[in-house]
Structure 1
Amino acid sequence: MLLVESAAALRRKPYHRQKLHLVLSGMRHLAAEFPGRVTLVRAETYGEAIRKVEGPVTAYQPGSHAARRMLTELGVEVLPTPAFALSRDEFTAWAGTRRRFLMEEFYRYQRTRFDVLVEGGAPVGGRWNFDAENREPPPKRGALGVAAPWWPQEDEIDAGVRADLDAMDLPAVGEDGPRRFAITRAEALRALEVFVSDRLPHFGPHEDAVLTRDWTMAHSLLSVPLNHGLLHPLEVVHAAEDAYRGGHAPLASVEGFVRQVLGWREYVWQLYWHLGEDYRRRNEFHATAELPRWWSELRPGGVRAACLRTALEGVRDHGWVHHVQRLMVLGNHALQRGYDPAALNDWFVTSFVDGFPWVMPVNVIGMSQHADGGTIATKPYLGGGAYLNRMTDHCRTCWFDPRRRTGDRACPFTAGYWAWLDRHEEQVAGNHRMARAVQGLRRLPDLDEVRVQERDREVF
């Protein structure tokens, strides 16, 4: 096996410091685990390293269009990746002539195709989707009170990685910190085991809630080892299914987790390739605002909105926040403020430890920003302060009032919600899922004041 540490790749973009640590730690641990079988080369570029290899080189399907082109130009044979359950040929057959790709339809296909939580062709429990049981607001005690995640122990390899990164002149963002995610096969298996036994039973009910002082809640933290190829999605979902069938985890929690791994993650990978490289540049609402520096550089100390500040602090400190903070706090804010979708997509790729070029376009361009005009989702994921007040504990201590849309203490999410609808009313008026919101906009007595306030807002 040939592993390449490319200095040019490390400094190409402002990656999160902990993301860089994970990538280098994973490669170096693999090289140490298989001495004699692995050659670890440190070079300026990937091409420089590969050209020095005598004989043919093969590689599994990489995680970006750019990497795929590079391998082709270098004469590297590219093989289908073993890191996903469904092959690209099978997905292409399923996609057929579809122009819209609804995840629910794909998810049901996946469940049937791989016989997960299915009996006699029908879903276990009589339903495919238990989302309605997994939307409880956060508990008032401020933490779920579940067993802690399994945390890896750093070793001399991690110490060497940290020293090397300290010595490099890299445009990194975020805080360095203890390695929190599994990056070896043995670590990944242990993290999976602890999640399934201790945390999966509690995952479902509050999976859409956010707590200020409990950043992991009952989430698995398995996206890093999954996206680094250390766990196969089928072994993960089978472990979860076994917990349900053994009476150790409720069906709603297991189904919600299976939906994330066998449904959404596979869907995102397949559509990255199926929709093509131009998908990243879709911009349905013509959003062009630059990301503010306090956002792009992860310096949220001056942000007053508690939900937004906490989410950015989580990215700064861990390189990770869970899916609701990504979608309904960070993505929702970016949608309301008209941030350029492509720039936002790139920020998610570089700032998140589980972010790769294939991971983010469907999540950001499609789901979060609705910049594809509905190829992925049926409506924009737009929300106001009322939603955040119900599903997070942030509003209790926030300077802004989620009930106010005008004035100094007007919640930027509440006011931003109406201002966004006002700007894009014509584009969304024909969407039946937005009909009630548009009707509410037309009855708003202080719309002119909201327009002026949100046009000139500088304080968040």
Structure 2
Amino acid sequence: MTLLHAPDACPSRLRHLVVVLGDQLDRQSAAFDGFDPAQDRVWMAEAIEESTQVWSTQPRIAIFLAAMRHFAEALRGEGLQVDYRLLDDADNRGTLAAELAAALARMRPAALVLVQPGEWRVQEALRAVAAHAGVALDEREDRHFLCTPAAFARYAESRPQLVMEHFYRAMRKRHRVLMDGDAPAGGAWNFDTDNRGAFGRDGPGFLPQPAAFPPDATTQQVIALVRKHFAERPGRLDAFAWPVTRSEALQALDTFVAERLPLFGHWQDAMWGGEPWLYHAQLSAALNLKLLDPREVIARAEAAYRAGQVPIACAEGFIRQILGWREYVRGIYWREMPGYLARNALDAHADLPPWYWTGQTDRECLRDTIAQTLDLGYAHHIQRLMVTGLYALLLGVEPVQVHAWYLAVYVDAVEWVELPNTLGMSQFADGGLLGSKPYVASGQYIARMSDHCRHCRFRPAERTGENACPFTTLYWDFLARHAQRFAEHPRLRAQVQNLARLSDAERGAIALRADAIRRGEA
């Protein structure tokens, strides 16, 4: 089924124009509460601004457009009136705000219905359009989530310090997830110590493959469109197989729970060259597009544990990412925006290396992770945190540049989830609001958790010299540059004390090599 370019006939008296954004593809959304097909109409638009506001890669653009078009088709199949603006319509105005303003002028609805967007910039722009048009705005809560921004703000105000683990336990109790009465299932709240396995020298061995969805006619049209209009962008679309409908997303969930969740926990921090998927779920894009409800994902994981199909460590580790981290970072985002975007607690001002956009670097772990990211629009959380994110943090890259890269390259990137994870957890730019310490490590961590160092010309145990791993050199340089700040930090004090044991000559050599790395000379 192909979307019509021409809008459907408008009801003679339009009551509600219901806005559905590209990350709100949920038929159970509050936007549809009380929807009357005889009086109301859905409005959706593809705006080139959403692909140029950051330099989005081809996979990221394609997944949003394909999912949007499939959702609009499904709504029309139910008999709903949908006003849908295609990216390549000759008179497409290029921005959501301009397109919505034109729609309001043309259709003159009595009210505009909008579920809270996932980005502060979009929220403010659409509010301004409604105000300028003099149209009543009915902005509704996004009930996809299990904790509203207001509830999170109340929670935060009642605590002397925000700690994700404490929030996660409160959410477990409130929503009765993995609870045996008043006690946590399995006798503990957290099974992290069971979930840090690394593959042996022979690698992961046989790996179950994630569900893949060959592009149908609608998705093929999108792929052709992206190749035509965004040919200069990084990324490949010949292997595009992401779920872009609810039925596909449910199938992906089924496959993960049955085939990879039973081993997800133990291997969730492991990496292996040329193996992008391993035991990870690849469900975050479907969740963030709202094709999946987090409640059903959590329930499926818990049911698998209760049925004896999945160890508690695997179920708990997976559920924590959704019920804990996902809700926590959204709460941080809406509590701290718009000022959060400007945070730079470590006063980092270096530029992001240009090879982050090409993958052409002699650092093997970075080459593998970035090439995979650009090709597939995907990397798992340890690749993001402890490879690409760690290197940018140690190098001292300006946080907003790191944020722009993460928002541009990943198919699951929506600002409410990406920004706090990048600025807060990865770059420590918020000074410890989201996470209590910067995630810093030398190349030895990557050597322990992957096979990358075996194939790399750099040696992770060496701090100085031509063969020294840049991660290791920059790690010690980071400690030196921030020694005063972290000298009494309970989780970094020992690392700073190790720095003090180095001779003045070695510390000087580290600083010289770190400067050469920043200049691109090493």
TM-score, normalised by the number of residues in structure 2: 0.85
Specify the code of the residue in structure 2 equivalent to 1:47: A
Secondary structure of 2:45's counterpart equals: strand
Tell me the TM-score normalized by structure 1.
0.96
Counterpart position of 1:69: 124
> Does the aligned pair in 1 maintain the 2:162–2:434 contact within 8 Å?
yes
Displacement of 1:47 after TM fit?
Answer: 2.8
Confirm or deny that 1:57 pairs with 2:112: yes
- Corresponding residue of 2:346: 285
Q: Deviations over 1:380-434 (max 9, x none)?
A: 1000011111111111121111111111110111111101111111111121211
Look up the equivalent residue of 1:444 and give its one-letter code.
Answer: L
Report the secondary structure of 1:2's partner residue.
Answer: strand
Aligned to 2:49: 8
What residue in structure 2 maps to residue 122 of structure 1? Answer: 183
Query: Residues 139-218 of structure 1 correspond to what in structure 2 (within 5 A)?
Result: 139-168=200-229, 172-218=233-279
Mark the CA change 1:12 to 1:373 in structure 2 (over 3 Å): closer, same or farther: closer
Q: Which AA in structure 1 matches 2:108?
A: E
Secondary structure in 2 matching 1:63: coil
User: Bigger CA drift: 192-201 or 138-147?
Assistant: 138-147
Name 1:300's counterpart in structure 2.
359
Shift of 1:242: 0.2
Would the aligned equivalents of 2:263 and 2:314 in 1 still touch at CA under 8 Å? Answer: yes
Instruction: Specify the code of the residue in structure 2 equivalent to 1:361.
Output: L
Partner of 1:419: 477
Range that drifts further, 159-168 or 182-191: 159-168
Q: 1:97: how far off?
A: 4.3
Aligned pairs for 1:37-436 (under 5 A) are 37=80, 38-42=82-86, 43-44=92-93, 45-51=95-101, 52=103, 53-55=107-109, 56-75=111-130, 76-98=137-159, 100-168=161-229, 172-295=233-356, 298-301=357-360, 303-436=361-494
Q: 1:406·1:450 contact (CA, 8 Å) conserved in 2? A: yes
Residue 516 of structure 2 aligns to which amino acid in structure 1? D
Task: Write out aligned runs for 1:27-42 (5 A).
Answer: 27-35=68-76, 36-37=79-80, 38-42=82-86
Distance 2:254 2:502 in 1: 52
**C-alpha spacing 1:424/1:310, structure 2 compared with 1 (3 Å):** same
CA offsets 1:163-212 (integer angstroms, 9 cap, x no match):
22223257633233332321210011000011011110010001011111
Distance 1:265 1:324 in 2: 16
Deviation at 1:92, TM superposition (A): 2.2
- Deviation digits for residues 56-75 of structure 1 (CA, Å, limit 9, x no counterpart): 22111101111111121122
2:85 aligned counterpart, secondary structure? strand
Are the structure 2 counterparts of residues 338 and 99 from structure 1 closer, same or farther at C-alpha, using a change threshold of 3 Å? farther
Which stretches in structure 1 are left out of the alignment for 5+ residues? none
Aligned-residue offset at 1:379: 1.3
CA contact (8 A) 1:311 1:329 kept: yes
**Aligned partner of residue 46 in structure 2, secondary structure:** strand
Secondary structure at the counterpart of residue 6 of structure 1: coil
Cα RMSD of the aligned pairs, angstroms, is: 1.5
Q: Which amino acid aligns with 1:375?
A: L
**What amino acid sits opposite 1:156 in the alignment?**
A
Q: Distance in 2 between matches of 1:141 and 1:412?
A: 26
The answer on 1:447 being equivalent to 2:507 is: yes
CA separation of 1:335/1:12 partners in 2, compared to 1, >3 Å: closer, same or farther? closer
Number of residue pairs aligned between Structure 1 and Structure 2: 457
Task: Give the AA of the match of 1:62.
Answer: P
- Rate the CA distance shift 1:175–1:169 in 2: closer, same or farther, 3 A: closer
Q: Secondary structure at the match of 1:456?
A: helix
Q: Cα distance, 1:287 vs. partner?
A: 0.4
Q: Which moved more, 1:179-188 or 1:103-112?
A: 179-188
SS at match of 1:289: coil
Structure 1 CA distance, aligned partners of 2:190 and 2:96? 44
Contact kept, 8 Å, 1:29 with 1:184, in 2: the verdict is yes
Whole-angstrom CA distance in 1 between matches of 2:390 and 2:209: 29
Residue 140 of structure 1, CA deviation:
2.6
3-state SS of the aligned residue for 1:201? Answer: helix
Q: Is 2:444–2:461's contact at 8 Å kept on the other side of the alignment?
A: yes
Q: For the residues of structure 1 that align with 2:441 and 2:97, how far apart are their CA atoms?
A: 46
The answer to whether the Cα contact below 8 Å between 2:483 and 2:496 also exists between their aligned partners in 1 is: yes
C-alpha separation in 2, matches of 1:7 and 1:170: 14
Question: Does the Cα contact within 8 Å between 1:244 and 1:254 map onto a contact in 2?
Answer: yes
Q: What 5-or-longer segments of structure 2 have no aligned partner?
A: 1-41, 87-91, 131-136
Change over 3 Å in CA distance of 1:261–1:305 after alignment to 2: same
